[in-house]
Chain A
Amino acid sequence: MEQVSVFRATLLVAVAAVVEAVIGPYLTFGGIAPRLTLLGIVVAVSGLQETQGLLIGFFGGVLMDALGEGLFGVGALGGLVAGAISVRVSAMKLKGAQRLILAQAVAVSVVAYDLIHLFATHLAGLQGPSVGAFVVHGVIPDALVNAVLAYLIGLRLMKLLKVRRVGWT
């Protein structure tokens, strides 16, 4: 019997945050960027218990905030939402559609993160785009790109997290 290792899940999120902080700026095109930390959170949390998942999501987001230069708290909330989505989605046991569900979970998480970011930008008094323009030119392409990324590598990452559970007998 296999189960997700909490240690490996945490490590995956941490590595994803560092990689995103180092190479992310070179792969950012306007509002579109690889959200590796969110992808890591969605993958890592699927298969964990709710509390563990939410905590990993939140602290993964805090790490993303600390390593990035954006508004602190946006990543934390985005990570928390990604964790919550992943916990709910992983409860659905649809055989054969796991890859597609993972991609959708990442897409929804990215949409949530982008909207939180926009809202926070306006709330902080900084200039940001209008919601309509940002949704068309930023949120939708960003969600699609990251969903494709999740579809391609999500399951492989998920396999790395699983360890064989040793039973009593």
Chain B
Amino acid sequence: MFSLFLASVVLFTIYVKEGDSGPLHTVQLGAAEILRPARTAVANVAHPFKSAEGVISGALERGNQKQALKKTRRKNKELSAEVSQLQQQNNRLRKLLKGSRTGYKYAPLAQVISPVGGQFTNRIMIDVGSKDGVKPDQPVIVGNNTLVGRTAQVSSNTAEVILVTDQSFAAGVRIVPKSKYNQSTGEVSGETSSGEGLLKSNYQGYLGVEYIDQSARVKQGDYVVTSGRAGKFSLLFPPGLFVGTVDSVSSQDIDQYKKIVVSPAAHPEDLQEVRVIEHW
């Protein structure tokens, strides 16, 4: 038993030290690739529009005219649902295309395959990978340039996305007044910023901005956008990606920084299609 215990500790040590391209990470990526069809199938079943209606309708089919009429009606309902779904998808895609910025290179539109399980993580799997030019640590957006996370491990056909609500996610952000920010271009008119800090999530699920000075003028409803730079250093994300709105601002005299809680613009459970920014 001791040798097996030791083997577990060795596996853990190798995994932590090896980096994203190490053998144990590769094993996990390979397994994810193998399980992809099964996960996609489960995701389709879990989709609300593909509910039990179709299955039940098939089981209740009858040969007579009345049943045929019922079947046609049911078919119409299914088609209506499908049309509604396609319209929604069309709207989402239009919104995504509208949000394309000049000079940015995007990977093909990615579908969310499934959430990634884990007690202390908040991640999803998407169906684009290194074959599509996706690499680790690239920003992932939805809608009109709303940041949802960054890529982590990437296989040939899939990529794991660390969502902004994951505890290991961090991004340099600044807080800007709502009226001064243009979401499509990412520009802030007048370059007025209420403060710059670090976006982080904690275990309780609160998304917050840390290291905002007590003197910063931040108010509820202000927008939180990526800063893109910290002094002379370029950060992981391009500037001006929308993250969310300031939900509450509080401070105590003994604290050096303000406590800012952010309401994220994109919720993980609503994600269906996302885009990876490959270059900017």
Contact = CB atoms under 8 A, between A and B. Distances in A.
Interface of A: 18, 20-26, 28, 30-31, 33, 54-55, 58, 61-62, 65-74, 76-77, 80, 84, 114, 117, 120-121, 123-129, 133-134, 138
Given A66-B27, A84-B1, A73 B8 contact: yes
Contact of B120 (A26, A73, A80, A126): A126
B119 A71 contact: no
Given A72-B24, A127-B168, A77 B8 contact: yes
A69 B8 contact: no
Contacts of B165: none
A77 B31 CA distance: 20
A164 to B, nearest CB: 31
A26 B42 contact: yes
A20 B117 CA distance: 9
Contacts of B32: 69
B81 interface: no
B277 to A, nearest CB: 23
A68 B28 contact: yes
Given A26-B42, A73-B12, A54 B1 contact: yes
A69 B28 contact: yes
A77 to B, nearest CB: 4
Contacts of A18: 35, 38
A55 B4 CA distance: 8
A65 B32 CA distance: 11
Nearest to A55: B4
B115 A25 contact: yes
A121 B119 CA distance: 10
Interface of B: 1, 4-5, 7-16, 24, 27-28, 31-32, 35, 38-39, 42, 46, 114-121, 123, 153, 160, 167-168, 202-204
Contacts of A54: 1, 4
Contact of B12 (A21, A26, A74): A74
Given A126-B120, A129-B120, A77 B167 contact: no
A133 B160 CA distance: 28
A26 B112 CA distance: 13
Given A22-B39, A26-B115, 19 more contacts: A18-B38, A21-B35, A23-B42, A26-B42, A28-B115, A28-B118, A55-B4, A58-B4, A62-B11, A69-B160, A70-B118, A72-B14, A72-B27, A73-B13, A76-B12, A121-B120, A123-B12, A124-B16, A129-B120
Contact of A26 (B16, B46, B167): B46
| Most chain A beta-carbon contacts within 10 A, residue among B27, B115, B118, B167 | B118
A91 to B, nearest CB: 15
Given A26-B42, A65-B11, A129 B203 contact: yes
A71 B24 CA distance: 10
A50 to B, nearest CB: 8
Nearest to A57: B4
21 contacts: A18-B38, A23-B42, A25-B114, A25-B116, A28-B115, A28-B117, A33-B119, A61-B8, A67-B28, A67-B31, A68-B118, A72-B11, A72-B15, A117-B120, A125-B16, A127-B120, A127-B202, A127-B203, A128-B120, A129-B204, A133-B203
Contacts of A76: 4, 7-8, 11-12
A28 B204 CA distance: 15
Contacts of A133: 203
Contacts of B114: 25-26
A25 B203 contact: no
Given A33-B119, A68-B28, A129-B120, A120 B1 contact: no
Nearest to B9: A73
